Amino acid sequence: MLYAIIAEDRSGTLEQRLSARPAHLARLQALQAEGRLFVAGPCPAVDSPDPGPAGFSGSLIIAEFPSLADAQAWAEVDPYVAAGVYERVTVKPFKKALPA
C-alpha cells in the first residue's frame, strides 16, 4: 500500500538539511530502485522553485510499504530526523485516485 510521509522542517535548519541531503537522497534512490517510490520532494518556504536562503518548510514522500508500521519505522530513521531538520513527521495511508 502507498503511504504519505509529510514532514515539517524546524525553522532555521537549512544548513542541517543541506548537510544531510546526500544520505536522505540515497534512501529515496533505494526506494526508487525497488520500484516503491511514487513521488518525493521538498516544499519551498517561499513561492519559488529555488527558495535560496528561505529554505524549505518540509517534505512530501509517497512510497509503497508493507504496512503503516513499516512506513513509520522507515520515516523515523531518515537522515533529516537524525540531523534535527524535521520538527514533525506524519505518516498516513494514501490511496491514489487520479490520474487513473
| Grid cell in block for residue 30 | 533505494
The pLDDT score that the predictor gives to residue 31 is 98
The pLDDT score that the predictor gives to residue 59 is 98
The pLDDT score that the predictor gives to residue 5 is 98
- Residue spans of the domains in the chain: they are 2-46+54-94
Distance CA 34, CA 59 (A): 21
- Direct distance between the N- and C-terminal alpha carbons of the chain, in angstroms, rounded to an integer: 16
pLDDT tens, residue by residue, 16-66: 999 999 999 999 999 999 999 999 999 999 999 999 999 999 999 999 999
The pLDDT score that the predictor gives to residue 61 is 98
Architecture of domain 2-46+54-94: 2-Layer Sandwich (3.30)
The pLDDT score that the predictor gives to residue 15 is 97
Q: Which amino acid is at 84?
A: G
- Could you tell me which residues come within 8 angstroms of residue 38 by beta carbon, excluding any fewer than 6 positions away? 2, 62, 63, 64, 96
The pLDDT score that the predictor gives to residue 1 is 98
